[in-house]
């Protein structure tokens, strides 16, 4: 008996070795998911489907945390939920990290730059053969939204997601952004509401933009199971804009978001680039 307990303990401790994935529980999508530390990305946390069916293609999100936090699991709920529908994410900060990554008043986003460099070299190659670097979105919450818009011009970034965020004093970078921007704000009680609303209006007239407000404030529904309505909006956004699933566009274009309580505005959406669909994920089939 004693021996078998000893063997079980040593097996368990090898499972929690640093690079083994921490497996997600309770996501709504068809794929098993987890997060882990990738040696090539020492300041980040990677979220992805674990052993998805062969041939599965994975678009990519780079994610900046609220408070520009270096805690790579701070938004783990929403990143695992999106992964369960076939999205690979790189969050800023390590799973055990805590301090700030760049900061509110910085004009640089070094961790986002590192993530994009890593994608350039590794997506489509070797054990990351299923990553598709032609499908990359950058997004973040609050301070993470500020980190995100600083890398909008990077050639790999196809579109931007700004969650509970807006530029601090006046719109600056926003005036130049020509790639599609999606705003997800928490209504008037969101400390970033005024700035996000102002930025939305200050984008170049031809920039495709969508904005939703759900009256839940700055911390939104991030801490709920699978990040609640914000988590749902995020995974539908990525499913539509990175995987090309037209069904998920209904949420944005045909009243799905309104039915969930969002107040929606959009403009120049006719210029939104068409995304070639990849098979939607289902249990047991490549997607
Ligand atoms: C990081 O965030 C997660 C999720 O909110 C939390 O459980 C954990 O304690 C945080 N870690 C640190 C080092 O702050
Ligand atoms: C922005 O405004 C805040 C006060 O709201 C001020 O402390 C800060 O210095 C300003 N930053 C810049 C870059 O102008």
Separation of CA 28 from chain center: 16
Whose C-alpha lies nearest to ligand 2, atom 3?
A: 169
Q: Which neighbouring-strand residues pair with 40?
A: none
Q: pTM of the full predicted structure? A: 0.91
46 Cα–ligand 2 center, Å = 34
Q: The CATH number of 5-271 is which of 3.40.50.1820, 3.30.565.10, 3.10.129.10, 3.30.1360.120?
A: 3.40.50.1820
**What distances in angstroms separate CA 235 from CA 17, 21, 44, 149, one per listed residue?**
29, 21, 20, 20
Rounded to whole angstroms, how far apart are CA atoms 35 and 158?
A: 24
166 Cα–ligand 2 center, Å = 13
> What pLDDT, in 10s, does the model give residues 134-148?
999 999 999 999 999
Lowest mean pLDDT across 17-26, 79-88, 238-247: 17-26
On whether the CB atoms of residues 192 and 168 are closer than 8 A, the answer is no
Q: Which atom of ligand 2 is nearest to the CA of 105?
A: 13
Residue 284 pLDDT grade (very low, low, confident, very high; cuts 50, 70, 90): confident
Angle at 62 between CA 42 and CA 95, to 5 degrees: 40
pLDDT at residue 16 tops 70: no
Q: Which helix (H) or strand (E) holds 81?
A: helix 76-83
Q: Which atom of ligand 1 is nearest to the CA of 97?
A: 13
Whose C-alpha lies nearest to ligand 2, atom 1?
A: 169
Instruction: Give me the pLDDT at residue 9, please.
Output: 38
Q: Which atom of ligand 2 is nearest to the CA of 169?
A: 1
> What pLDDT, in 10s, does the model give residues 48-73?
999 999 899 999 999 999 999 999 99
pLDDT at residue 12 tops 90: no
pLDDT at residue 100 tops 90: no
> Scanning the structure block, which residue is given the tokens 């709504």?
28
pLDDT at residue 279 tops 90: no
pLDDT at residue 39 tops 70: yes
Q: Residue 45: nearest ligand to its CA?
A: 1
Q: Residue 169: nearest ligand to its CA?
A: 2
Whose C-alpha lies nearest to ligand 1, atom 2?
A: 74
Instruction: Give me the pLDDT at residue 3, please.
Output: 37
pLDDT at residue 2 tops 60: no
Our answer on whether the CB atom of 91 is closer than 6 Å to any ligand 1 atom is no
Q: Residue 104: nearest ligand to its CA?
A: 2
What mean pLDDT value characterizes the chain?
A: 92
């Amino acid at each position: 008996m004693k021996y078998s307990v000893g063997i079980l303990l040593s097996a368990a401790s090898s499972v929690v070795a640093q690079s083994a994935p921490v497996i997600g529980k309770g996501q709504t999508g068809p794929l098993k998911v987890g997060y882990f530390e990738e040696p090539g990305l020492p300041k980040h946390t990677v979220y992805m489907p674990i052993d998805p069916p062969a041939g599965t293609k994975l678009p990519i999100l780079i994610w900046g945390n609220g408070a520009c936090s270096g805690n790579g699991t701070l938004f783990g709920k929403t990143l695992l939920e999106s992964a369960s529908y076939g999205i690979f994410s790189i969050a800023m900060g390590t799973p055990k990290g805590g301090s700030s990554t760049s900061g509110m008043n910085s004009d640089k986003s070094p961790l986002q730059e590192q993530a994009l460099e890593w994608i350039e070299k590794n997506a489509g190659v070797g054990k990351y053969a299923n990553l598709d670097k032609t499908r990359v979105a950058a997004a973040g919450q609050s301070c993470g939204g500020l980190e995100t818009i600083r890398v909008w011009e990077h050639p790999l970034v196809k579109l931007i997601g700004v969650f509970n965020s807006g530029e601090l004093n006046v719109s600056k970078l926003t005036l130049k952004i020509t790639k599609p921007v999606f705003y997800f704000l928490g209504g008037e009680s969101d400390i970033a509401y005024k700035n996000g609303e102002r930025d939305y209006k200050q984008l170049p007239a031809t920039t495709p933009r969508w904005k939703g407000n759900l009256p839940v404030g700055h911390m939104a529904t991030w801490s709920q199971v699978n990040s609640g309505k914000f988590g749902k909006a995020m995974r539908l956004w990525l499913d539509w804009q990175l995987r090309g699933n037209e069904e998920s566009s209904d949420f944005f274009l045909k009243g799905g978001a309104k039915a969930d309580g969002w107040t929606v505005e959009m403009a120049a959406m006719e210029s939104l680039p068409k995304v070639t669909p990849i098979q939607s994920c289902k249990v047991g089939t490549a997607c």
